[in-house]
Amino acid sequence: MRKILAFSLSFLILLLSFCSQPERQPDEVRVRLVIDPANLNPVSYNSLEALQIINLLYNSLLTVDLDDNTLKPGLASSFPEVERNDSLSFFRYSIRPEAEWADGSPVTGHDVAFTLKLLKAPHVRNEQIKPQVEFIRDVIVSKDNPKHFTLVCTGFSPEMELLTGDFFILPEYLLDPERVLVSVTIPSLIKTDSTQYNTTRIKTLAERFNRLGSTESKDLLLGSGGYTLSDWASGQYITLQRKENWWGGTTGSATSYLTAKPERISFQIIPDNTTALLALQNRQLDVLDNIPVAEFEQLRQNASFQEEYNLHAPQGFDLVYAGINSRSPKLSDKRTRQAIAHLMDAASLIKVTQQSYASPTVGPVPPSVKSFYHSGINPYTFNPEEAIRLLKSAGWIQDKDGWYRNEGGQRLKLDINLLYRAGNTVYEQTALIFQQNAAKVGIPVTLQALEGNVYSQKLDQHDFDMFLRGISGNPFVFNYKPLFHTSYAGLGGFNTTGFGTPESDALLDEINTSQDPEEKARLLKRLQEILHEEATFLSLYFRKEKMAIHNRFTNTKVSGVRPYYDLSAFMLKP
């Protein structure tokens, strides 16, 4: 009775949610969001759900065309001209002559300068994006044509071309009507002592901007993108409306990827997977991604469902891995970590937790990027006998109570505390499989499912033996320095496993500066060899995305790059 009541209640809530919305339009696209983004601030957003919406409201200088997974000019009319001069590099951009804001005024280099000032200014919640643009030291706007500007940058790396164009450009006229930041220079904001900007006017501007992105400030969420925010019912739905005569439709060949086709895009906030699947099967959703494997397989067997929906499983760039704390005395020997790697059994994990909707990998480089992936490395396979041999070679002795080793005159026991995020069934299944495998060689494993904040704190404080985690990637940037360089291995650093050798540190620096593809491939493959040998960062697999899209739409541009499809390109079939 309880299950029936819960199902009925969820269906009633779902029905009421849809009934309270504006009447559905013929070419409206309805998409499920797992959570209410809460914050749509284009600088301080903190979820992928928010990013998906912000991408439709704002533009960056460069963009990704999901049709072929390539970088293309966005607000910029072309890729930047690059000049290197000693320790500085200069990226010269031109903004498309058609590009304009919601009020019809042109997008200019002054808007780029204003945006970068916000990204570097005190009192602004810019902590997340500030490191990404740290290398940009100044912006010089042409006096002859404000559409032309130059970014002055410290050093050089090939990835800088992407990074100089990978932040949302914001409208100065709307967000700084009093022109508070006009007289402020970017070099002065970079100085260690910026107390001169602790003024009431700048604090007021920062406070006003920090509130941007909430339901109360939707009138200020006006970018250069093809959509405006129409309705936002907190916890229920967010609706975007297409701009009339949007400038992107007049950009010649670029109109193939600078698009705003659907008249309306409605994001339905449905946290529960069962409720989301029910909405899909009742034809109340046009798009549902991140479908659990078992349910995706059921939909594949449902012929009547597939008469109206197309199912897609593109190979993505989201990596699932296990981290080992190499700082721990019991895990400091790489042979011990290699033994653990032989107990992970990635092949079984893919079969059980992903039902084969994933691709195994020997490292963090996606196998689909064939020029950089090291196919010559033999992956760790499930091999208890080899694990035992490695443990013995590392000095461990097995008795009836487990594995022990003398360390500094003390008896050290080999046991493992494995952390993962609570509520994630994939990690839970993975942890249980590893626990069972480790038990076969006499290693006790304690499983600890933790809520998000507690889990993150444990990793930041290095209070763990092992953990399970996923990270999102792409086929464009291979900057692994934050993950693996020893300079990031301190408390709170991204290098949570403590991985790093002098050789790997040097490799990471060279990878970021190498311009020759063959040389970069050599460096990346050597890095993968060291990662495999050190066995602190155990790359398991890259998962495939699983989604359903109503077949009344074409030009969906399904891709392995997030968000896996281009809502702005959806077109109704005739």
CATH number for 14: 3.40.190.10
Tokens of 373: 């992936």
DSSP bridge partners of 360? 541
For every residue of 455-483, DSSP letters joined together read HHHHHHTT--SEEEEEEE--SS----HHH
Name the pairing type of β-strands 537-544 and 410-413.
unpaired
**Mean pLDDT, residues 86-98:** 95
The whole-chain average pLDDT of the chain stands at: 91
* Phi, psi (deg, nearest 5) at residue 164: -70, -20
Task: Judge whether 502 lies within some domain.
Answer: yes
The model's pLDDT over 403-458, given as tens digits with 9 standing for 90+, comes to 999 888 889 999 999 999 998 889 999 999 999 999 999 999 999 999 888 998 99
What is the pLDDT at residue 143? 95
Amino acid of residue 153? C
Q: Is residue 42 part of a domain?
A: no
- What is the CA 474 to chain-centroid distance, rounded? 9
**40 Ramachandran zone, left/alpha/beta (phi>0; psi -120 to 50):** alpha
Q: Within this chain, do residues 233 and 272 fall inside the same structural domain, yes or no?
A: yes
How far is it, in rounded angstroms, from Cα 233 to Cα 17? 10
DSSP letters, 354-417, are STT-EEE-SSSS-TTSTTTS-TTSPPP---HHHHHHHHHHTT-EEETTEEEEEETTEEEE--EE
Q: Is residue 46 part of a domain?
A: no
Domain identity same for 496 and 414? yes
Domain presence at residue 55: no
Residues 556 and 429 both lie in one domain: no
173 and 249, same structural domain?
Answer: no
Give me the DSSP letters along 343-361: TT-HHHHHHHHSTT-EEE-
158 & 115 share domain: yes
Residues 365 and 489 in one domain: yes
CB 315 within 8 A of CB 474: no
Looking at the structure, tell me whether residues 537 and 553 fall in a common domain.
no
Domain contains 215: no
Domain-embedded: residue 41: no
pLDDT tens per residue, range 95-113: 999 999 999 999 999 999 9
- Give the total number of structural domains in the chain: 3
- Residue 193: pLDDT band (50, 70, 90) is low
Is residue 337 situated within a structural domain?
Answer: yes
Q: What is the pLDDT of residues 359-378, one digit of tens each?
A: 999 999 999 999 999 999 99
pLDDT at 21 (0 to 100)? 66
Is the pLDDT score of 164 beyond 90?
yes
Are 293 and 321 part of one and the same domain?
no
pLDDT tens for residues 233-245? 999 999 999 999 9
Question: Could you give the CA distance from residue 459 to residue 464 in angstroms, rounded to a whole number?
Answer: 7
Residue 1 pLDDT grade (very low, low, confident, very high; cuts 50, 70, 90): very low
pLDDT of amino acid 402: 93
Does the pLDDT at position 5 exceed 50?
Answer: no
Residue 45 lies in a domain: no
Burial (CB count within 10 angstroms: exposed 0-12, middle 13-18, buried 19+), residue 353: buried
Domain that holds residue 281: 2-34+226-314+547-572
Q: What is the pLDDT of residues 57-87, one digit of tens each?
A: 999 999 999 999 999 999 999 999 999 988 8
> Which pTM was predicted?
0.82
What percent helix, strand, coil does the chain show, rounded to 5? 35, 25, 40
CB 223 within 8 A of CB 231: no
Residues 159, 262 share a domain: no
The answer on pLDDT for 15 being more than 60 is: no
> For the domain that residue 490 is a member of, what is the CATH number?
3.10.105.10
Indicate the pLDDT class of residue 16, thresholds 50, 70 and 90. Answer: very low
